[in-house]
Amino acid sequence: MRISTKFAPRKADDGKPLTCTTDTDLKREQLLDLYRYLKLTRLVEERLVNLYRQTKVVGGVFRSLGQEATAVGTAYALGQQDFITPLIRDLGAVLVKGIRPRDVFAQYMAKAWGPSGGRDLNIHFGDMERGFIGPISHLGDMIPVMTGILLGARMQNKSIVGVAYIGDGGMSTGAFHEGLNFAAVQRLPLIIVAEYNHYAYSTPTSLQTACRDLAEKAVGYGIPATIVDGNDVVACYEVMKQAADFARRGGGAVLIEAKTYRRKGHAEHDDQRYVADGEIEWWEKNNDPIDRFERYLLDQKVANQEKLDEITAGVIREIDEDCDWAESSPMPQPEEAAYRVFDNEIVPPSLRPKVLEN
């Protein structure tokens, strides 16, 4: 596999503002589609923050501000049949996989019409038809689960790849190691997207691992790795395309490290006291993935500002409609809590015992 090691530049080589790689075959329509997904991701999250401030969200809101390009670009390189298992900061990948914003809004507001019917939070659900397996809170657990998805697919003679997203924090878990090691041994087409976003909650990467780059860890599994500029959406797409081709052709597991930066705290409540002064502002000003891609689209004359504004207006319309839909959903009926632990045609629901009801 060809490895590109141009990543996370502090500034472009020529001193000009950062943009995206021109080394791509992406067509105009695809580039504009990528732009739409980037904007959709950011604006869905902004709407969630609004809902949170109106106390309509039950629990926390988790942002991917500043790192949207990694999720959007990598997921966009996959086929419909391929599987992803994202982390909380990979909403972009979930949307690219065809999950509608309305489902995400309903989940965050704990509504009955959400895909989990109010039983679980945010993107903690799945859609097998769309190749989306939602995460659980236990970081690393989804790596062995994705290994199993691919093992099952191999037995069914399905030619798919599976992408598991993980962060610099999640890679410290035992489950990450166990899942990737097994996938590597079995030469399963598992692609790890390791997002180096500098912080796991408040803990810097230097306290997670003694490796300089997360990609170094791949050596221990006998698999190839590559490092990509995670804020260059085009580069993220291209690197995943290569990795997916490699895995699909029988090359086995691959690790992609995406260098990016988490500009918001762990969740909305986090005051980020652990971040050095000026660091967030630097990234916002110089290395925002959407700014970079807009610059690229305008410089390369893929679109003019009017076209980009039109796309954004369409995204806002979709968000308005989907948010209205989710808000109109009722909350779940209380006794729904008792159902679906098991197949209820075999084991009856766990209704409250009558003795407690008087």
Partner 1 sequence: MSTAVKKEHKSAPPERGGPATLVEAIRQGIWEEMERDPTVFVIGEDVGTYGGAFKVTDGLLDQFGRERVIDTPISEGAIVGAACGAALMGMRPVAEFQFIDFISAGFDLLTNYAAKCRYRWGAGLPAVFRGPCGSGVRSGPFHSLNAESFFLNTAGLKIVEPSTPYDAKGLIKAAIRDPDPVLYFEHKKLYRLPRLREELPAEDYIVEIGKARTVREGRDLSIITFGAMVLTALDAAEELEKEGLDIEVIDLRTLAPFDKAAIEASVKKTNKAIVLHEASRTGGIGGEIAATIAEEAFEWLDGPVLRVASIDTPVPYSPPLEDYYLPQIKDVVDAARKLAAY
Residues near partner 1 (CB under 8 A) are 115-116, 119-120, 124-126, 128, 133-134, 136, 138, 141, 143-156, 174-175, 178-179, 181-182, 185-186, 340-343, 346-347, 350, 355
Residue type, 256: I
In the complex with partner 1, the residue whose CB is nearer, 55 or 157, is: 157
Would you state the torsion angle of the CA atoms of residues 94, 232, 248, 175, taken in this order, to the nearest 10 degrees?
-60
Residue type, 41: T
DSSP alpha helices (H): ranges in the chain?
28-53, 68-76, 91-96, 101-108, 142-155, 174-185, 233-246, 279-286, 289-299, 305-328
Minimal distance in Å, beta carbon 140 to partner 1? 8
Question: Pick from 36, 14, 12, 4: which is nearest to 302 by CA?
Answer: 36
In the complex with partner 1, the residue whose CB is nearer, 128 or 210, is: 128
* 132: Cβ contacts below 8 Å, ≥ 6 apart: 83, 84, 85, 86, 94, 97, 98, 99, 126
In the complex with partner 1, the residue whose CB is nearer, 56 or 154, is: 154
User: What DSSP designation does 65 have?
Assistant: T
Minimal distance in Å, beta carbon 95 to partner 1? 17
Minimal distance in Å, beta carbon 321 to partner 1? 24
Minimal distance in Å, beta carbon 80 to partner 1? 16
Minimal distance in Å, beta carbon 341 to partner 1? 5
Bridge partners for 190 per DSSP:
162
In the complex with partner 1, the residue whose CB is nearer, 36 or 111, is: 111
In the complex with partner 1, the residue whose CB is nearer, 58 or 175, is: 175
In the complex with partner 1, the residue whose CB is nearer, 60 or 148, is: 148
* 293: Cβ contacts below 8 Å, ≥ 6 apart: 19, 20, 34, 35, 38, 69, 233, 234
In the complex with partner 1, the residue whose CB is nearer, 136 or 331, is: 136
CB-based contact 258:72 (threshold 8 Å): no
* 122: Cβ contacts below 8 Å, ≥ 6 apart: 59, 62, 88, 104, 107, 108
Residue type, 69: A
In the complex with partner 1, the residue whose CB is nearer, 66 or 134, is: 134
Minimal distance in Å, beta carbon 81 to partner 1? 12
Q: How many residues are given for the chain?
A: 358
Minimal distance in Å, beta carbon 178 to partner 1? 4
> Which two tokens mark 262?
């988490």
Minimal distance in Å, beta carbon 197 to partner 1? 24
- Read out DSSP for 160-213? --EEEEEETTGGGSHHHHHHHHHHHHTT--EEEEEEE-SEETTEEGGGT-S-SS
